[in-house]
Amino acid sequence: MSHAEVVCGDLLLFDGNPTRDPWQETVRIATDGALLIEDGVIKSIGAPRDFPDLPRHDHRGRLICPGFVDAHAHYPQTAIIASWGKRLIDWLNTYTFPEEMQFGDPKYAAEIAALYLDLLLAHGTTSVASYCTTHPESVTAFFEAAAERKMAVIGGKTCMDRNAPNGLCDTAQSAYDDSKRLLDRWHGRDRARYAIAPRFSPTSTPEQLRALGDLWAECPDCLMQTHLSEQLDEVSWVRGLFREARDYLDTYEAFGLLGSRGVYGHAIHLERREIDRLEEVGAGLVHCPTSNTFIGSGLFDMRLSRRIKVGLATDTGGGSSFSMLRTMASAYEIGQLCGNALHPAELLWMATAGSAGVLHRGDEIGTIAVGMAADLCILDLHSTPGIAQRAARANDVWDAVFPTIMMGDERAVAEVWVAGSRVRAG
């Protein structure tokens, strides 16, 4: 039997992409709005008076957003988040690889997957694209934990057959076989989608990259996620390993790993040809601001979003927070350093519809609209005394929202809904 409920409050609504068109024309906040939710989806949008005699959740004065969408993360790095003092390659060797060695244990993988997804929900994130480890058990744990929570997620087995500990290395053949088996099991099952996932060029031989490119050609509706041009020493490493490549992107393109459903994390140090090709094929980039500053990678140029789809991500655990609010704040700060002060409307779009679009899930998540999944994050814009006193002096609605973006944490998350069910109330 269907069960209908109404959620009332100020609604964050998108009519376009504010990183390409003026935010005033593409994003609005409908005050004193209401959502009719039934069978896990948004059935109607109106005012509270339009839905009499139905159970209602009154959040008037709060901002009802789509659930946040984290477009790039590594759930197996949950336990090593905020580890001190390393850059990318040392980070992998010192922290990441030793931790990921433990994920062949199904019990440990399940424990961390459950912890990670609960941390996301506490921060208002209802969808994530995560790398797992080279162990198939880690993929199963991730998708099972997400299914229990009815979350829309993307994940896949990380593939590496060189420049990593023996206990984490697979082979070209096993990477193909494991990925194909997991893909067949999970892709399109409930709200799960699979992403073919070579970690990055330095940890895959040309043979493995070719095998994964072949798999993607066989399963073109899957995503392919990887890393691109995160740090300058990494770019130099790639140049030495692939001497025939025109640039870093070419190490993927040459093996069939460049396409419209490709998602490339970081992309800080791109060359002109790479930018042109990414735009030409319609690929997506993911901005990971807290990670880029925490491990000293560089400053992502958000002007790329005028040409290429860009999502936003925490990049746990290279990133220093599970919070998309903190990630938006960091994106704003990096924008300032680059001479591009992002408006709160742009930041919220990137953390929701922008990321959903990059992940090719924009027809289901990331937007409040009729027919979309009822995944919601409801923000209290007065969650702490410091935020409240600033919001009280706001000149307009966006001036009231911005302090929560810059200073908010999980205390600002008043309520979270996933697939039409309230899963957390602050």
**Structure confidence at residue 1 (pLDDT):** 56
Average pLDDT, stretch 64-85? 95
CATH number, domain at 326?
Answer: 3.20.20.140
Q: Do both 247 and 391 map to the same domain? A: no
Average pLDDT, stretch 23-30? 97
Residue that terminates a domain, selected from 304, 332, 358: 358
Q: Where are the beta strands (DSSP E) in 78-222?
A: 125-131, 152-156, 158-159, 192-198
Indicate whether 86 pLDDT > 90.
no
**For residue 371, is it left (φ>0), alpha (ψ between -120 and 50) or beta?**
left
Indicate whether 88 pLDDT > 80.
no
Q: What is the pTM of this model?
A: 0.97
Q: Do both 52 and 38 map to the same domain? A: yes
**Structure confidence at residue 64 (pLDDT):** 98
Q: Kindly report, residue by residue over 116-159, the tens digit of the pLDDT.
A: 999 999 999 999 999 999 999 999 999 999 999 999 999 999 99
Indicate whether 242 pLDDT > 90.
yes
The tally of domains found in the chain comes to 2
CATH number, domain at 53?
Answer: 2.30.40.10
**Structure confidence at residue 87 (pLDDT):** 79
Residue 426's pLDDT band, with cuts at 50, 70 and 90, is low
Q: Kindly report, residue by residue over 175-222, the tens digit of the pLDDT.
A: 999 999 999 999 999 999 999 999 999 999 999 999 999 999 999 999
- Candidates 131, 136, 213; CA nearest to 178 is 136
Q: In the predicted model, what is the mean pLDDT of the chain?
A: 96
Q: Do both 86 and 121 map to the same domain? A: yes
Q: Which domain holds residue 238?
A: 69-358
CA dist 385 and 44 (Å) reads 35
**For residue 136, is it left (φ>0), alpha (ψ between -120 and 50) or beta?**
alpha
Q: Do both 211 and 239 map to the same domain? A: yes
Residue that terminates a domain, selected from 358, 392, 409: 358
